[in-house]
Amino acid sequence: MNNDTVYVGILEYPYGRMLMSHMASPNIEALHKMADAIGVKRKWFQDKKHRPHYDVCKANKQKAIRLGAIEISDRELITRCYKRDEEK
């Protein structure tokens, strides 16, 4: 996998009546590009200091997968997308 890969977590957690998953990438621009492609607004970007991501509903998760996002475990998503500061 390269740094432009976008990942979605397998875990689906409830948020109101929706099921949500994390969508992340080691490349923030690739992440934003995918969000744009699946219709997720930038205002929903969670600019967490060490864990920037989008939460996407099940339908948008499926759109992202059809567009090339890779579905992986949330643990693996963290490993692939978020390096510890000393590793950067």
Which value, to the nearest 10 degrees, does the dihedral of the CA atoms of residues 38, 28, 30, 82 take?
Answer: -100
- Per residue in 11-63, pLDDT (tens digit) is 999 999 999 999 999 999 999 999 999 999 999 999 877 899 999 999 999 99
pLDDT at 3: 81
Reported for 83-88, long-range contacts at CB under 8 A and 24+ positions apart, including other chains, are 83/26, 85/50
Q: Nearest 5°: phi and psi at 75?
A: -65, -45
pLDDT at 63: 98
pLDDT(69) > 50: yes
